[in-house]
Structure 1
Amino acid sequence: MDELNTTGDFNYSDEELAEMYDGMEGPCEMGRNTQLKHALSVYVHSIICVVGFIGNVLVIITYAFYKRAKSMTDIHLLNLAVADIMFVLALPLIIYNEHNNWAMGDGACKLLSGLYSMNVYSGILLLACIGADRYMAIVQVSRSFRMRSKTRLYGHVICIAVWFLAFMLSLPTFIYYKRYDANESQTFFLFENHTYDEYMGDVVHEPNIVCSFRFNDNMTARVVKLLVPSLQVAIGFSLPLLVMGFCYTSVILTLQHAKNFQQHRAVRVVLCVVIVFLACHVPYNMTLLYSTVVMFQVMECDQEVSIQVALVVTQTIAYLHCCLNPILYAFVGVSFRNHFRKILTNMFCKGKRYIQEDTSYFTRCSVDRLTKDNATSFTM
């Protein structure tokens, strides 16, 4: 095979260019994927952000003003609500900049993307911690009782460890995410010593400022692009799934021996928690695992587009979990619902106070909202 001449001027005739590009295909057209991402971000993601923000703010308000975080589960739930709120606050900015030129600087690019990754990891890991705490409280009753005096200390230490681990797992995002012009970064090595940009000469491109991974060499790019999704599937899904599977299976087996209605209701709650977790996270992580395996394989355009569409859809399903967490882990508890009713009663009574200066009415409302809780379990 004759060696290509890569020296001299790039003045080729149309016939010579056609011969050189014969059999070469351009990048796949991702129009369908872009349209789907736009539709989901405008409608579904907006609803997720609003509902998730309201639900988790209510959880934090309840803990801040009506219910002190006494148990380890309370501490985990409070941290979970904080992680979900940070997630739904970062999501709109990231989505907006995906469909427009990245308007903020390089520092904001790293910070937002890194915090987004941290909150994804911390939220999943905290769910595993909640499962482990319920296992200790229901299956290992005697051991849990002996640890009761240091419950809050252990809870804070575990949460600090979770946030630190989430930060370490998100370091590649903090380091390699950068703001840059994607159109100025095209480097297709068609020949040994020259790039696509050299052939294009002085052609003017519309700026396409993005916030994404950017690497200085191919080896780093390969390692990081394999490492990040692998960590997500292994530590951000598989490990919590194994912990939750073991803990909740043990909890269900223990509760099945109980004869009262309250315990059987708790079994249904546990099953609901596990089913929702699997429904939200299994599709995305399986799709992410498959896309990682075939990342460096040559694929037909239809297959590549299908993988990208599947990632967008399943990722949206995973986002739903931040809306469901307050319902599954807080609002199902009788005690939490009582505290939530106190919030609504306070808001209603204060509104009435400004409208109607009736002292007896306000006193009656104040007495009503101090009704004693009729349950001791905060989440079951």
Structure 2
Amino acid sequence: MMAVTSDYESIAPDDYSDEGPCNLDPNPIEVITQTYIHSIICAFGLIGNALVIVTYIYYKRAKTMTDVYLLNVAVADLIFVVALPFIIYNEQHGWLMGMVACKILRSAYSINLYSGMLLLACISGDRYVAIVRARRSFGARSRTLIYSRLICSSIWVFAVALTLPTVIYTELFEEQTLGAGSGAMMCQLRFSMNETAKLMKVLVPSLQMAIGFLLPLSVMVFCYSSIVCTLLRTQSSKRHKAVRVVLAVVVVFIISHLPYNTALLSHTVSLFKERSCEEEKIKLQVLAVSRTIAYLHCCLNPILYAFIGVKFRSHFQQIMLDLWCFSKKYIHTVRSSHGTSDVCTTARMSSEGSNNMSSFSA
């Protein structure tokens, strides 16, 4: 059994200073624990991001640049949480799906990483313009939805382009086991030349750290620092609440992604050095734990960026109310159904009449 691994964490068996083969497979307890945690991530990530998408499509609509960015973040996270259980199952039971599914599923994390992180940076930039540069941007943001869609499209194309090495070098092959004629089917990266392997094992993790973490982090720190300074100069209690929201967004981002990127950097630096088998096992365990923590961010994004908003919560409540009304329509009599319809109409009008929110409430 194998744990879910990132694209470029594998190494050659002759990289170790120990004599004899080095078994890097995790023990069954680690695999079971990781499977349960990933299942929880999938469940909450699927529910949270699906609700965000449904709310924006059927109720709230994308009216600002931040709305467009949030909708695309939810789509990116949803792609990953849908792909994750298929990856887990196939890695633990031998890859049962074909080559196309192998390449697509293996690329899901990379696409989510680049697109999701860059979109979060765009959200921080839009909030910076809306609050710090409020006078200059007054009335302009609602008229620039076309630009936000172009930016999102460019980010998706850029994310796919950065994922091409994974698509190109991921192959479906049969693992050869000692003393046996055949083994399980594997879906992993394979390189025909050592020079290519060395280049990709350094280049791709470096791009992940630079574009998928350091660049968004730098943008977020600058924008949110400026936003906090601006908000602290006001005397509104709502503004000070917004400061706590900003701090929560930045802290959660750092806690989620800094451990994995630090572990990935350490692992990449040591890839071409001789090291002991035990040392490599410890590094891979740290990578596995920190990677799982990074996965949690796709569950937290809906809470940090969507459900925290007053207007978004009102639209979400409208979804729940409409579902309740829909069920009542087919369960109760015509008379009670008519009464329920009146309640729904009143609630919808009340929900639509609530428009007050800060730039931090999507």
Question: Partner of 2:318 in structure 1?
Answer: 342
Map of 1:279-358 to 2, 5 A cutoff? 279-357=255-333, 358=336
In the other structure, the counterpart of 1:368 is: 347
State the 1:292 CA deviation: 0.2
Query: Is 1:82 the equivalent of 2:63?
Result: no
Aligned-residue offset at 1:376: 3.5
In the alignment, what sits opposite 1:7?
Answer: none
**Counterpart check, 1:50 vs 2:50:** no
Q: CA deviation at 1:204?
A: 2.8
Alpha-carbon separation, structure 1, partners of 2:175 and 2:180: 13
SS of corresponding position for 2:187: strand
Give the equivalent residue in structure 1 for 2:204.
Answer: 228
Residues 1:149 and 1:355: Cα distance change in structure 2 (over 3 Å): closer
| Deviation, structure 1 residue 218 | 0.4
Distance 2:212 2:57 in 1: 29
Report the CA distance between 1:40 and its aligned residue: 3.5
SS at match of 2:176: helix
Aligned ranges 1:188-203 → 2 under 5 Å: 203=179
Deviates more, 1:145-154 or 1:327-336: 145-154
Hey, what's the Cα distance between the residues in 2 that align with 1:175 and 1:128?
28
TM superposition shift of 1:344: 0.6
For 1:271, the equivalent position in structure 2 comes to: 247
Cα distance in 2 for partners of 1:247, 1:40 equals 38
Provide the C-alpha distance between the structure 2 equivalents of 1:108 and 1:379, rounded to a whole number of angstroms.
Answer: 38
- 2:157 maps to what in 1? 164
Counterpart of 1:64 (choices 32, 51, 57) is 57
What is the aligned partner in structure 1 of residue 171 from structure 2? 178
1:120 and 1:273, CA in 2 relative to 1: closer, same or farther beyond 3 A? Answer: same
Which letter maps to 1:137? A
**Structure 2 CA distance for aligned equivalents of residues 77 and 365 of structure 1:** 27
1:144 corresponds in structure 2 to 137
Match of 1:183, SS state, is: coil
Amino acid at match of 1:211: C
The one-letter code matched in structure 2 to 1:35 is P
Larger radius of gyration: 1
For 1:27, give the aligned amino acid: P
Distance 1:63 1:315 in 2: 30
Q: Shift of the alpha carbon at 1:162? A: 0.9
Provide the secondary structure at the position in 1 that maps to 2:113: helix
Q: Which residue number corresponds to residue 111 of structure 1? A: 104
| Identical-residue share of aligned pairs (%) | 50
Structure 2: 5+ residue stretches without partners = 1-16
TM-score by length of 1: 0.86
Contact 1:180–1:209 under 8 Å retained in 2: yes
Given that 1:36 and 1:309 are in contact with CA atoms closer than 8 Å, whether structure 2 keeps it comes out as: no
Instruction: Tell me by how many angstroms 1:138 deviates.
Output: 0.5
Shift of 1:115: 3.0
Q: Distance in 1 between matches of 2:357 and 2:232?
A: 20
Query: How far apart in 1 are the matches of 2:248 and 2:60?
Result: 25
Which sections of structure 1, spanning at least 5 residues, go unmatched?
1-22, 185-199
Distance 1:43 1:329 in 2: 26
SS at match of 1:25: coil
| Alignment partners' CA distance in 2, 1:281 and 1:96 | 25
Residues 81-124 of structure 1 show CA distances to partners (whole Å, capped at 9, x for unaligned) of: 00011110111111111112111222221122123311121111
Cα deviation, residue 378, structure 1: 6.4
The superposition leaves residues 189-240 of structure 1 with CA deviations (integer Å, 9 ceiling, x where unpaired) of xxxxxxxxxxx8xx53341311111011100010011111111111110111
